[in-house]
Structure 1
Amino acid sequence: MTKPTAVSVRDLACEIRTGRQSSLNLLESVLDRIEAIDELNAFITVTEESARNRARMADDAAARGDDLGPLHGVPVAIKDLRTRKAGIRHTMGLAPLTDNVADDDSITVERLEAAGAVIVGTTNTPALGHTIKTENKLVGATPTPFDHDRSAGGSSGGSAAALAAGVVPLATGSDIGGSLRVPASCCNVVGLKPTFGLIPERVPRDGFNTHSPFFVGGPMARTVEDTAVLLDVLAGQDDRDPFSVPQPETDYTGATDRPTNELSVAYSPNLDLQPVSQVVRETVNDAVTELAAAGATVDTVDLSLPSYEDLSMAYVTQVGVFFSAFAQHLGDRYDIDFAAADVEDTVHSTITLGTETDAATDRLQNVPRTAAYEEIQDTLAGYDVLVTPTLTVPPYSKRLADGYPTEIDGHSVMGVPTDVMLTWVFNMTGHPVASIPAGFTDEGLPVGLQIVGRRFAEEDILSVAAAIERVRPWTDQYPGV
C-alpha cells in the first residue's frame, strides 16, 4: 500500500480513482500514523468516522468509474482555526471551546470535499492563532519533528508537523504575520500565503476584519507541485467573502515546469531591516547560489523599508486591534469572558495590545505600511520574485513560557516574535509569499527561505520554488519521528 506522502497528490488521486489504491486502506494507514506520532500533538481532533465514510465514498465512486475531482480520496488535514467542518469539534485552540462543534462548513472545507478530499482531522494551533509557537491548554505544545524540544512554529504548527511526520500529503494553514510560513520553515515543508482575496473566507459576523493586517488561508504540502494542486482547488471567488476575487486564468501546477533560465530573482539577506543569524544567512545564500548556478538570474538588492521600529509598531498595533476585536466577537458568540477565562497569558497580552488603541492611531499605521508596499513593488518591478530568509534564527523553544531569543547575530533584540521572522512585513503589504526548505544547520535543524511575488503572481513564486526544489531536493530528508 502506498503511503500518502510517497507519491505526488496527482498520482495518488489517480491511483485511487482507477482502483489501484484504496482510499479506505490509505486512510487506515494515516490513522495509524497519527497514533504513532501522538507525542507531536499535531492534531486536536481526529475525524475517524466521517473520514471513513468519505473514503468509502471515494472507493465506491472509483468502482463505478466516477471521478470525484483532483483530490479523489486523498487524505487532507485542516487547521483548527477558521477552517471548520460541520459536526466536528471546532476549538480555535481555546480551552473554553473544548466541546464546541461547528454548525457549518467553511468555504475551504466545501472546496476540499467538492474536489474529493478526505478530511482526517483538525490540526493544532495556539489559542486564536495568536502567536508563532503552537502550544495551548487543549493538547499542549507541538514540536518540529526534527527536534522535539523546538517549536513546529505557529500558528499552523500542527499542519506543518503532520506534513513533516509523513501523515498526510496536504494540509491547510492561515497567516496573519507568518502563521503559514514560520511553521513551513520550522518543519521543512512548503507553505504559501496567497494574495489577499484569492482564497475566500466566510467569517461569521465580521467579513471585513481580515484586511488590517491581511489575514489569509493557504495551502501547505511537502512539495511545490502538491502545493500548486491544492492552491488550484482553494482559489477563486465566493460572494460570501466581500474581498474575494476571481481566480486568474493560471495553471499553477504547470508553472512548476518553467525553465530555470527564464527566472529572475532579487535576493535580500535580511530586507535591510533586522539582524539574521549567520547560520540562516549562510544556508539561504547557499540555496540562492545553487539557483543561480542552475541558470536563474540572481541579483543581491538593497531595500529602503521604513525602520524596523516604525514598521513593527505599525504591525503590532494593527494585529493587536485585530485580535482584540476577534476575541470580543468570540466572547459575544460563545459567552466567553476572556478576562477570567482559562486561556494562556500570551492570549491576554495579545488582546490587550489593541484594547487601548484609538481608531485614528490604528489608521495612521497605514503610512509606514504604504511605504513598505511601495518599496516592495519597486523592487519587484525588475524581477519575477524577491527571495529572503523566512526566519532570522533556526527553530526556537516550543514552550510559550520560554520566550524568544534576545540576541541575534551579536545584536540585542527585544525578544518578541517579530524579531525572529521576516514574514510579517508581507502581511502589511499583501504580497503573496511562499516559504520553502532551504537546507539544514549543522545541528540538523531546517531553515526556510521566502519567495515573494507581485500580487496575483503566484505562478512566478511556484516557478522559482520548483526550480530551487530541483537543485536542492528535500523530500528524502524527513526524520522517522
Structure 2
Amino acid sequence: MSTPPEPSVRKSAAAVREGRRSALGLVEAVLDRIEATADLNAFITVLGDEAREQARKIDAAVVRSEDPGPLCGVPVAIKDLRNRKRGVRHTLGLEQLSENIADSDSIGVERLEAAGAVIVGTTSTPALGHTIRTENRLVGATPTPFDRERSAGGSSGGSAAALSAGSVRLATGSDIGGSLRVPAACCNVVGLKPTLGVVPERDPSDGFSAHTPFLVSGPMARSAADTALLLDVLAGPDGRDPHSVPETDADYAGAIDRPAGELSVAYSPNLDLQPVAPEVRETVGAAVDDLAAAGSRVDPTGVSLPPYEELSMAYVTQVGAFFGAFADRIAEGYGLDFGAADLEPTVRATIDLAEGIEATDERSRNVPRTAAYDGIEAALSGHDALITPTLTVPPYGKHLGDPFPTEIDGETVRGVPTDAMLTWVFNLTGHPAASVPAGVTDDGLPVGLQVVGGRYAEADVLAVAAALEEARPWAGRYPDP
C-alpha cells in the first residue's frame, strides 16, 4: 500500500510551489491510495487522467515562476451532491443519474481550482444526501475504516472515509442535520458546518432553499489546521448566493494559534435533551478534561431547550418540506418520476416526509426553533464555544436497512436518526459547529466531540478544535485500512 500524503497541506503546497515536489507526484500517490482502499466505496467517480493533466499544468506554472495558489497541487475530493465539476459525472447518489454530466462548476469547485487544488474525484453520498449513512446503488455501502461493518456516517460519508483512509487530506461536504459532523465523528476526522452564507453556494434553480433548516457546505480534513486552510479558500462573498455574507477580516488559518489558556468553553454532555451512551460520554469527558488541563476554562453548563419530542418534530417538519421540494426540483430538472421510480425505502420515506405538511405547519415550527436558538445563545454567553458529543452512540451499522438503537443508556428511544446525534439542533439554530476526534472506545471505535460557536464565529470554533488537537492528538490514531 502506498504511503499517505504528508500530514500538513500547507507544507505539501509549499513543496510543490518551491519545486521540491511535483503536483503530479502528489496526485499519483493519492490515486494509488484510492485504488488500494477501493473496498471503502468512498468515491463515486475517480478522475485519474483529468487529475494528472491538471497536475501537469500546475507543475508547468511553477516552472514559469507562477504561484498557482494556497492549495498549489494539493489533491482534493468533492462530495457528489452540492459540488459539481463541469464535464464530470454528477449523480447526487442517485442510480437514475448515473450518467448525468455536470455542465458547470459549482462555486466551491471554482474556488478550489483557483487556489491551485487538483480535484481527484467525487465522493459517495446516499441518494439526495437523505440520511446519516452512506450507501447507494452506484457503489454500495461506505464503512468507517475503523470497522468495515459500521458506517462512515452520512451524508458526507465518502469524504470522511477517504480522509480517514489517507486517500486525500482535504475534502468537501454538506450538512443539513449533521452530514458533515456525523461522518467526521464516525471516521476520526474534522468536519465543520459554517454559518449560512460564510461559504457561498447556489442551487441552480432555488437560491433560497438552504435557509430552512440551515443547509451549508463546508470543509473536511484530518487536522484543525488543514480544515482552517480549506475554509479560508472556500469562504468569502459571492453575489450568486443570496445568503452570502460580506467580506470580513476573519483569519481562519491564524485562529488555530490561539493558546489554550485564552479559551473558555461551556460543556454539556447531552444538551439536556437526550440520552448519550456511556462510552461516548466518557470519551468526550476525557477529552474535555485534557482541554482543561491544557489551560482552557471549562464550565459545565445547562442548556435550556424545548423537549426533545417538540424540537425534533420542528426539525423533521422543516427537513421534510426541504426534501420534498428538493426531490420535486430534481425530478423536474432531470425528467425523473420519483413516484414510479425504484428507490430505496429510506429514500422514499424521506421524500414522503413532506406529505401533509402545510405552509402554516412549517412556519409554526419556528416557535420551538426560536426557543432553541435562545437556549444555545444563553449557553454560549461568556464563552468561546459550547462542547457536546457529536453522536449519542458509537458508529452504527453501515447499511440503509440496519436499525438505529432503540435504547441508549437504559432509556428507550424511537430508533430514528435524530436519536443518534446531537447535531441537528444546530441546523435549526444556525450556529457554526465542528466535529473533532475525541478518542476511541474500548472497542476501538472513534468518538466525535462537537464544538459549537456563536454565529459567524468559525474562528473560535477552529481555535478550540486546534487546542483539543494539541491537548489530545489524534494523528496517530488511524487504523491501517
One fold, TM greater than 0.5?
yes
Given that residues 304 and 376 in structure 2 are in contact (C-alpha distance below 8 angstroms), is that contact kept between their aligned partners in structure 1? no
CA separation in 1, counterparts of 2:327 and 2:356?
A: 14
What is the match of residue 174 of structure 2?
174
Confirm whether residue 64 of structure 1 aligns to residue 64 of structure 2: yes
Q: Map of 1:3-152 to 2, 5 A cutoff?
A: 5-152=5-152
What is the match of residue 323 of structure 1?
323
Cα offset for 1:5? 3.3
CA separation in 1, counterparts of 2:340 and 2:149?
A: 30
Cα offset for 1:341? 1.2
What is the match of residue 187 of structure 1?
187
What is the match of residue 212 of structure 1?
212
- Which piece of structure 1 moves more, 122-131 or 29-38? 29-38
CA separation in 1, counterparts of 2:138 and 2:342?
A: 11
Given that residues 125 and 158 in structure 1 are in contact (C-alpha distance below 8 angstroms), is that contact kept between their aligned partners in structure 2? yes
Cα offset for 1:248? 2.1
Given that residues 150 and 397 in structure 2 are in contact (C-alpha distance below 8 angstroms), is that contact kept between their aligned partners in structure 1? yes
Given that residues 75 and 169 in structure 1 are in contact (C-alpha distance below 8 angstroms), is that contact kept between their aligned partners in structure 2? yes
Confirm whether residue 157 of structure 1 aligns to residue 170 of structure 2: no
User: Could you say if the C-alpha distance between residues 235 and 177 of structure 1 is closer, same or farther in structure 2, counting changes exceeding 3 Å?
Assistant: same
Q: Map of 1:288-437 to 2, 5 A cutoff?
A: 288-437=288-437
What is the match of residue 450 of structure 2?
450
What is the match of residue 470 of structure 2?
470
CA separation in 1, counterparts of 2:206 and 2:245?
A: 18
- Which piece of structure 1 moves more, 348-357 or 117-126? 348-357
CA separation in 1, counterparts of 2:145 and 2:5?
A: 15
**For residues 358-382 of structure 1, what are the alpha-carbon distances to aligned partners after superposition, in whole Å with 9 as ceiling and x for unaligned?**
1000110100000000111111121
**For residues 356-414 of structure 1, what are the alpha-carbon distances to aligned partners after superposition, in whole Å with 9 as ceiling and x for unaligned?**
10100011010000000011111112111000000000000001111201110011100
CA separation in 1, counterparts of 2:341 and 2:98?
A: 13
User: Could you say if the C-alpha distance between residues 247 and 147 of structure 1 is closer, same or farther in structure 2, counting changes exceeding 3 Å?
Assistant: farther
One-letter code of the match for 1:92? L
Cα offset for 1:58? 1.0
What is the match of residue 260 of structure 2?
260
CA separation in 2, counterparts of 1:228 and 1:257?
A: 11
- Which piece of structure 1 moves more, 459-468 or 268-277? 459-468
One-letter code of the match for 1:23? A
CA separation in 2, counterparts of 1:443 and 1:7?
A: 26
Given that residues 248 and 456 in structure 1 are in contact (C-alpha distance below 8 angstroms), is that contact kept between their aligned partners in structure 2? no
What is the match of residue 229 of structure 1?
229
Given that residues 5 and 29 in structure 2 are in contact (C-alpha distance below 8 angstroms), is that contact kept between their aligned partners in structure 1? no
Cα offset for 1:277? 0.3
CA separation in 1, counterparts of 2:152 and 2:392?
A: 15
CA separation in 2, counterparts of 1:210 and 1:365?
A: 17
Identity percentage over the alignment? 67
CA separation in 1, counterparts of 2:232 and 2:49?
A: 28
Confirm whether residue 200 of structure 1 aligns to residue 188 of structure 2: no
- Which piece of structure 1 moves more, 169-178 or 200-209? 200-209
One-letter code of the match for 2:323? F
Given that residues 180 and 191 in structure 1 are in contact (C-alpha distance below 8 angstroms), is that contact kept between their aligned partners in structure 2? yes
Given that residues 5 and 30 in structure 2 are in contact (C-alpha distance below 8 angstroms), is that contact kept between their aligned partners in structure 1? no
CA separation in 2, counterparts of 1:92 and 1:222?
A: 24
CA separation in 2, counterparts of 1:87 and 1:124?
A: 18
Given that residues 93 and 129 in structure 1 are in contact (C-alpha distance below 8 angstroms), is that contact kept between their aligned partners in structure 2? yes
CA separation in 2, counterparts of 1:318 and 1:174?
A: 17
Cα offset for 1:53? 1.3
Cα offset for 1:342? 2.5
CA separation in 1, counterparts of 2:248 and 2:468?
A: 24
SS in 2 for 1:354: coil
SS in 2 for 1:119: strand
**For residues 18-47 of structure 1, what are the alpha-carbon distances to aligned partners after superposition, in whole Å with 9 as ceiling and x for unaligned?**
111111122111111111111100000011
What is the match of residue 250 of structure 1?
250
- What's the TM-score, normalizing by structure 2? 0.99
CA separation in 1, counterparts of 2:158 and 2:180?
A: 11
Cα offset for 1:65? 1.3
**For residues 157-180 of structure 1, what are the alpha-carbon distances to aligned partners after superposition, in whole Å with 9 as ceiling and x for unaligned?**
000000000011100000000000
Q: Map of 1:269-280 to 2, 5 A cutoff?
A: 269-280=269-280
**For residues 214-273 of structure 1, what are the alpha-carbon distances to aligned partners after superposition, in whole Å with 9 as ceiling and x for unaligned?**
000000000000000000000011110100112420111111010111100100000000
Given that residues 3 and 26 in structure 1 are in contact (C-alpha distance below 8 angstroms), is that contact kept between their aligned partners in structure 2? no
- What's the TM-score, normalizing by structure 1? 0.99
- Which piece of structure 1 moves more, 122-131 or 353-362? 353-362
Given that residues 265 and 384 in structure 2 are in contact (C-alpha distance below 8 angstroms), is that contact kept between their aligned partners in structure 1? yes
CA separation in 1, counterparts of 2:76 and 2:25?
A: 15
Long gaps (5+) in structure 1 = none
SS in 1 for 2:178: coil
CA separation in 2, counterparts of 1:154 and 1:341?
A: 23
SS in 1 for 2:354: helix
SS in 2 for 1:220: strand
Aligned length: 480
Given that residues 260 and 294 in structure 2 are in contact (C-alpha distance below 8 angstroms), is that contact kept between their aligned partners in structure 1? yes
Superposition CA RMSD, Å: 0.9
Cα offset for 1:9? 0.8
Given that residues 4 and 26 in structure 1 are in contact (C-alpha distance below 8 angstroms), is that contact kept between their aligned partners in structure 2? no
Cα offset for 1:7? 2.9
- Which piece of structure 1 moves more, 82-91 or 200-209? 200-209
User: Could you say if the C-alpha distance between residues 298 and 434 of structure 1 is closer, same or farther in structure 2, counting changes exceeding 3 Å?
Assistant: same
One-letter code of the match for 2:118? V
Given that residues 235 and 247 in structure 1 are in contact (C-alpha distance below 8 angstroms), is that contact kept between their aligned partners in structure 2? no
